[in-house]
Amino acid sequence: MKISVIGGGYVGLVTASCFAYLGHIVQIIEIDSKKADLINQGIPPIYEEKLEEILKQTAGKNLSAQSHYEGLGDADIIFICVGTPPQDDGSADLKYIISASKSIGAALKGSKKYHVITVKSTVPPGTTESIVMPIVLELLGNGSNCVGFCMNPEFLREGRAIDDFLHPDRVVIGGSSEEAVRVVQEAYEKLDAPVITTSLKAAEMIKYTSNAFLATKISFSNEIGNICKKIGINVYEVMKGVGLDHRINPYFLNAGLGFGGSCFPKDVMALIRLAEKNGEDPVLLRSVIDINERQPGRIVQILNERIGDIRGKNITVLGLAFKDNTDDVRDSRSIPVISELLEHGAVISAYDPMAFESMKKIFPGINYHTNAGDALIGADACLVLTEWPEFSKLNDEFNLMKSRVIIEGRKILSCSGIEGVCW
């Protein structure tokens, strides 16, 4: 099939690369010409495991990128993969969705080929029907019979997105017609996964609900972990016993600093605002956010209890990305931790295998190192904030510290003499 992907960001690039890997002819439309050039050279502009390997196999063959909409009329499916960042009140900003819809409608005007315009961006329920469809159809005019509309949410975990795309738990397709759904389903025919077909609104809501539920599991685990720490119980022993219940499962029960990244925080807030707009009071969802926002402060509180006043103390921070296997620091729990440390006058040394360049843009004044050992020299305490596998091998490096006070926000360390934020 001929597929066009609007947006060469995280979701768009992974989506386009994987569809090309499956044998489709894929065109990425990315307004940043420098990013488009990198993609055409087989160089990923973001870090994602296995992405570079797939780009090298497909770029210049059946995958290409451009910064204009020429040739869009050849596409069987057009995936909208643009960002939906939060507005000041937490609701989804749909300006990029609107812009992409206008550009698609203008580019397809006069086309006689049948196209399926498919939203993959995370959007509030009703967006495809009330915003994307009217804009495109108005611009098409007499050509409105040549298009169908679908909503096909993505369920990609950063750091594991390629595997998630190629081995999905399910493929969800909401459609305006059976024909539109059939076309999108055909694009996924090489994947072994159940296909769930729904209305457009239901497909949009499935994405929000999935992320909100996973975020709820994390905040629930953290609240239980905070209680367990007070009474001397290892929360990981508790959750191991809880997670083996098939009705619950063990995933997303790891207590720690809370969730971050580009999806969970913004999607839960957007769902809260959607509920409020429709006259509902989302008490549980507000609590999920509240617990998550308070959790990073707990590790600083423990630090104060262990070493006293931290003003002028040398604190090492290991882990800056919001999770392992990515360089993404969006809503990373390390940001509020570092902010609070700086407010208290700490001197910070930091190390992360991937994310230090991204974090430099936020905190240019702290000391960044290229390995954990250098970051630990002379430290009064160490906070481990990201679950990078290489941190599990650390042991002798901690002997370089002035005092061996080690507190982790993710349970990754295997050495002795450590303490967890809620265990």
What is the 3-class SS of 308-356, one letter each residue? CCCCCCEEEEECCCCCCCCCCCCCCCHHHHHHHHHHCCCEEEEECCCCH
Domain boundary among the residues 197, 229, 264 is at 197
What gap in Å lies between CA 164 and CA 130, rounded to an integer? Answer: 30
Active site residues: 263
> The tokens 């909503």 sit on which residue?
151
Based on the fold, state whether residues 215 and 192 are members of the same structural domain.
no
Domain boundary among the residues 197, 216, 245 is at 197
What integer pLDDT is reported at residue 88 of this predicted model?
A: 96
Based on the fold, state whether residues 183 and 206 are members of the same structural domain.
no
Based on the fold, state whether residues 243 and 284 are members of the same structural domain.
yes
What gap in Å lies between CA 99 and CA 101, rounded to an integer? Answer: 5
Split into its structural domains, the chain has a count of 2
What residues does 173 pair with on adjacent strands?
197
What gap in Å lies between CA 396 and CA 415, rounded to an integer? Answer: 9
Cβ contact 83:117 at 8 Å = no
What gap in Å lies between CA 64 and CA 58, rounded to an integer? Answer: 8
What integer pLDDT is reported at residue 145 of this predicted model?
A: 82
The half-sphere exposure of 79 on its side-chain side, counting CA atoms within 13 A, is 32
Cβ contact 133:150 at 8 Å = no
In terms of residue numbers, what domain contains 328? 199-423
Based on the fold, state whether residues 209 and 173 are members of the same structural domain.
no
Give the length of the chain: 423
What integer pLDDT is reported at residue 69 of this predicted model?
A: 97
- Under 8 Å CB-to-CB from 69, ≥6 apart: which residues? 29, 103, 104, 106, 107
Reported pTM: 0.95
What integer pLDDT is reported at residue 159 of this predicted model?
A: 92
Based on the fold, state whether residues 134 and 228 are members of the same structural domain.
no
Based on the fold, state whether residues 179 and 60 are members of the same structural domain.
yes
Based on the fold, state whether residues 193 and 205 are members of the same structural domain.
no
Based on the fold, state whether residues 281 and 385 are members of the same structural domain.
yes
Sign of CA dihedral 205, 211, 216, 217: positive
pLDDT in tens, the chain (423 residues): 999 999 999 999 999 999 999 999 999 999 999 999 999 999 999 999 999 999 999 999 999 999 999 999 999 999 999 999 999 999 999 999 999 999 999 999 999 999 999 999 999 999 999 999 999 999 998 767 899 999 999 999 999 999 999 999 999 999 999 999 999 999 999 999 999 999 999 999 999 999 999 999 999 999 999 999 999 999 999 999 999 999 999 999 999 999 999 999 999 999 999 999 999 999 999 999 999 999 999 999 999 999 999 999 999 999 999 999 999 999 999 999 999 999 999 999 999 999 999 999 999 999 999 999 999 999 999 999 999 999 999 999 999 999 999 999 999 999 999 999 999
What gap in Å lies between CA 1 and CA 285, rounded to an integer? Answer: 40
Based on the fold, state whether residues 14 and 158 are members of the same structural domain.
yes
Based on the fold, state whether residues 319 and 382 are members of the same structural domain.
yes
Based on the fold, state whether residues 236 and 209 are members of the same structural domain.
yes
Q: What is the dihedral of CA 110, 175, 29, 147, to 10 degrees?
A: 0
Q: What is the CATH number of the domain that holds 389?
A: 3.40.50.720
> The tokens 């509020």 sit on which residue?
336
Based on the fold, state whether residues 232 and 217 are members of the same structural domain.
yes
Domain boundary among the residues 197, 227, 243 is at 197
